[in-house]
Structure 1
């Protein structure tokens, strides 16, 4: 089991994200996730730097492996461009880079006015995009005329020694099975043992399964809950809303339906390490190999001290139980 820190591009600017990565390494985290967004989910979160610039900076700031969680290589950015970006990132990180991909959200992908396809088509597009990325990263000139993408006489010259691993996210059965069939690993954000099983039975086998969750360490549980509700009420929106709402404003409107008390118990909040360890145990029991933790809000330094002091010493017992 490997434990990592989840860098939130929705909440923090590029320099602060690099600073957090350094603190994460010092606190004993073993890897990094980083989100890839054009917009934050709401204006209160307040940031959205270009992730590939931050990934380059991380390569000079830390030795931790980095995974995008996740990049959508289908609409806003052509998969040929993602292939080049990921190849460069892998070279910068000396092979310690994983391209996490998913079918995306309208929030980030609608900005050029393209129609937002239904989920089934988005997964088909994702499968072809992964094919294009893999072929290009062989470093040979290719021409591809597919159902969704055209690549003409393209070659990536700066390529890593080994192909970039591509992990596929899945939040439902069809996506989990696609991840098992085409992915080098699996990405998820819920402790759902059934999804892990579907991934493995569909071809994932013993490939890595990653998951992440949010926390809000604070002076009291009420303080943590208040911060989580102010910044991340959207995490409680049901169904496909997070995939189809197009702007932060729409997420703010929908999030008015989320009461603060309705978030109680949805994530660890406050100073008690037990709730954090209990949540981590859920992901261990679900069969994930790597778990990434994201601290909500500005109290990052105190969270890393808390992790190093209260959580990290208990991890061996957590994983051996």
Structure 2
């Protein structure tokens, strides 16, 4: 079995044309897919970007040949689930077998901008699962050539269908870091997305996802377990740490960030991050072997698709080094 290591296109960090070019470059060096982030605002002002993910995905799909999807989008505040379903179905129609849909419960920095009340996490999670239900219902009815409607606690859909719909619906993956949500995802989603963490937390997450799949009479072995992995590689350890502190201090923030509304608030909090805060949370090193071991650790835990994000601006150099020295040494 081949190893699936994809590229994470960070649209809050790079202008859209550059992000697309980097995804194409990564594919040339052995990366096998692209996960693009969905932000209305960057985490910190210095990151400087926030392109519309669906526009970028269309361009990205034309420049690459691997799988691609938003990792993750939130169809509960800024965008109604039916509109997300339409965007996803359109991409899947244009690029059969390549597009997937990643869904999350959202972060205030992106979602509060439409002026709605920002609810507590349980409410956000319930809204997310209702959105998944609506999207999958709309996909299934549209493939069958039927209209569908929905009336739930958070969303309504008048009688309609998607008039542009591929013969096979895009797979819908749910992003979570919690075991309870992972079990719910196993019952209703087609796969799981999460981020790096201690082995015991990830083991529990995958176990609860498998429990949910069994609850729903589904074969978890056929359901993708996807990881987005942040790292900081540069030519020297010192440069790798400078990049981590300047570009991705959020990896060192040891508190929840879902309720923070402004990039300028993140900027203030970032000033408290120290090099030791990255320990156990993100590998910061010039040694490709350390990064290979960290990627392999997650493959060994049971993840079958990993999308890498090097936090520095040295993307082309990193892609070339990892394509030559890291990816060939990984095993499924």
Place the TM-score, normalised by the shorter chain, in its bin.
over 0.9
Structure 1 vs Structure 2 CA RMSD: 1.5
| Match of residue 326 from structure 2 | 311
Of 301-310 and 230-239, more deviation after overlay is shown by: 230-239
The answer to whether 1:289 aligns with 2:304 is yes
Structure 2 matches for 1:167-316, cutoff 5 A?
Answer: 167-191=173-197, 192-203=202-213, 205-206=220-221, 207-240=223-256, 242-264=257-279, 266-316=281-331
**Shift of residue 119, structure 1, vs aligned partner:** 1.0
Partner SS for 1:66: strand
**Shift of residue 300, structure 1, vs aligned partner:** 1.1
Partner SS for 1:200: helix
| Match of residue 29 from structure 2 | 27
Aligned residues: 316
**Shift of residue 92, structure 1, vs aligned partner:** 2.2
The answer to whether 1:46 aligns with 2:56 is no
**Aligned residues of 1:103 and 1:123 also touching (Cα < 8 A):** yes
**Aligned residues of 1:225 and 1:264 also touching (Cα < 8 A):** no
Partners in 2 of 1:126 and 1:264 — Cα distance? 32
Partner SS for 1:305: helix
**Shift of residue 264, structure 1, vs aligned partner:** 4.9
Partners in 2 of 1:136 and 1:246 — Cα distance? 32
Per-residue CA distance 1:120-175 (angstroms, 9 max, x = gap):
11111111111111122232322221111011133211111101100001111122
**Aligned residues of 2:41 and 2:110 also touching (Cα < 8 A):** yes
Structure 2-normalised TM-score?
Answer: 0.91
Structure 1-normalised TM-score?
Answer: 0.94
Q: Which runs of 5+ in 2 are unaligned?
A: none
Per-residue CA distance 1:43-101 (angstroms, 9 max, x = gap):
11111100000010012111110121111111111101001011011122222111010
**Shift of residue 312, structure 1, vs aligned partner:** 2.1
Partner SS for 2:5: strand
Of 54-63 and 188-197, more deviation after overlay is shown by: 188-197
Partners in 2 of 1:239 and 1:175 — Cα distance? 19
Of 89-98 and 19-28, more deviation after overlay is shown by: 89-98
**Aligned residues of 1:189 and 1:211 also touching (Cα < 8 A):** yes
Partners in 2 of 1:160 and 1:132 — Cα distance? 17
Residue from 86, 94, 97 that aligns with 1:95: 97
| Match of residue 56 from structure 1 | 58
User: What stretches of structure 1 move > 6 A for 4+ residues in a row?
Assistant: none
**Aligned residues of 2:57 and 2:69 also touching (Cα < 8 A):** no
